[in-house]
Chains A and B, each alone.
Chain A
Amino acid sequence: MNRRRRRRLAAFKTVVYVVLGLFFLLPIAAMVEFATRGVGISSPRTLTAFTSIGSDPELVDAITASLELAVITSMGMLALLLPTMIWLRLRVPQMVRPVELVCLTPLTIPAIVLVVGFAPIYNWIEINVSDSILMLAFAYLILVLPYCYRALDAGLSAVDIRTLSEAARSLGASWATVMWRVIVPNMSSAVSNACLLCVAVVLGEFTVANLLNFENLQVAISILGTGNASVSIALAVLSLILVFFFLLILSFLGRALSRRRSAARA
């Protein structure tokens, strides 16, 4: 690469980063500015909006519900997806592709469409099982399927599960031991990857909860926005920062995984 082109590339990159950096960071900075505004124009900055989050019982309920849903969905996802994926790879490999196809289907059906089909099912659940917001976990498990499938698939293909399981089985291990004590510890970063993705999706979910009349974190932010904009914006800032850190951790985990994989290959 000659010097002139390198200089032009550097200038181009600087312009791109500055302009897009402004475009992306300005709204987030504006949220922080808006949330810390005092009552009057000249009144000093205040954190009242942030501190009053904790004193609104409805809001606390919504936050708790979203966090509980995130945990339940992650556990449910692991319980449903992981044994199935390992079992099929070991014993019924001809079913791996069809199951993959099923897992990726939610990507092609918009949530707003699925919710139309969920409505009658949730009517039934509300009458016959429970009307708790935690029932949303059933729907969320479907929404996170594609993301978690990909994360777990990447982990599984990095481990030689056939050799591991044959070794464990010949030493007398049960299938449960093979899964939870032999294979899972070998793909722990993929598992935590899938869980973090799961948490990120559930904490950001609005469509299904709103249309099925449940009040989760995002619905609460939206309802609050019409009355008390600064508190709802404060909450939005907090949830954005939270998810950003989740995904930052995730990118480090992903790097550790790929490093281990390339080390295993070498």
Chain B
Amino acid sequence: MKNLSVFYTTVVILTWILTVDSIAHDEVPGGPQKQPIALVGGTVHPVSGPAIENGTVLFDAGKISRIGKSVEVPKGTKIIDVSGKHVFPSLFEAHSQIGLIEIGAVRSTDDRREIGSFNPNVKAQIAVNPDSEVIPVTRSNGVLLALTTPSGSIVSGKSAVIQLDGWTYEDMTVKSVAAMNIIWPSVKSAIAYSPSGSPERRGRSSATGSESEGTDSIGQLKKLFNDARAYQAAIKAKSKTQKHDLRLESMIPVINGELPMMVTANDLQQIQSAVAFANEQKAKLIIFGGYDAPHCADLLKKHQVPVVVSAVYRLPRRRNEDYDTAFTLPAQLSQLGVRYCISGSDRSETWNARILPDHAATAVAYGLDQTEALKAITLYPAEILGVDDQVGSLEKGKDATLFVSDQSPLEITNQVELAFVQGRAVDLSDRHKRLYQKYQQKYRQKRELSK
């Protein structure tokens, strides 16, 4: 019952902060921060540094202005007492399709995959539906930041870093283009129907990505890169004959090493192949998936390739592997000195991105340090996706995108009680809470009737 009361407290606090009437249906995006806000008395977890007991976080105009044990609060500051609570920077899901899909099996709600195998030109940012029911559900658990990406084709398109509150996709944009998302060709055969799910069966040709069908797709990828170079040269030379090509145009930041490619690769041979390719093309690389990354840690370190672990809740890929291979993956990468962060994407699809902290916590149960685990779902994704100047930790000058919780989000039973996106108070209601309240009414009515 304690938790229930916490929930009600949350609702009460929210009503007070929002100064809007509680709305029965869609949640209302928060208005711009009008006055400085200080969260006082809680344990502050900047993540970039040690926790501050009984600390204060002061933010104004959407940015954190002060943080520490004794912080002077300017006049006109709204002071919120969060004693006994914890303040964290937003959790950051480094891979999702939030806003691009509503209901998995309903095709008309699905905007994840464009026609064709090569879609470098499509941008996730502009197809994010701010009214998606998934958004409030996700942020209710402290996940206020996410990468959202097109998916399904070899070059799936450009992903964006979004914050999960705003009236329009522009309001929600943190970084309009964060990465070029690519599914490494052999992955296609890897996700083909294979009840065993075992890479053993797939044999050499499909697993290497460098032979048979792999050759074709990687060859095509290579051609795309080379054509983009030629296209860039032609444009630079102000060629009169070169007509426009949206796809090649979109590849220019990638070939120039300005925009990282985020490559889905789990098998060792895929990862090796992707690293070799990126080096040859002088492109920046982020590995997404990374199941076999510990097997090529040296290679990844040498070329400074970070790994977005696509889920901790994963089965071993091979029958003889340790049952906790995926559980220990973050701890292994941490020990080996490979840059990484934790995503829950492989398990949560899009609609359950809220369980991100459970992935990190499970990694802790299997050897990862707790503070590392928190970084792996806050600061590290921000660094890997190039938005750490803005988000990822509680530091002066960064966005006030943070939440207050009754305990660490690494405890599954934690309750998020307050959340801010760039200083805007977030309505923590969501479809699930609304339905919960609605049907509590039903049983309340029945009880009253029976009395």
Q: Do A and B bind each other?
A: no
Binding site for B on A (CB under 8 A): none
Binding site for A on B (CB under 8 A): none
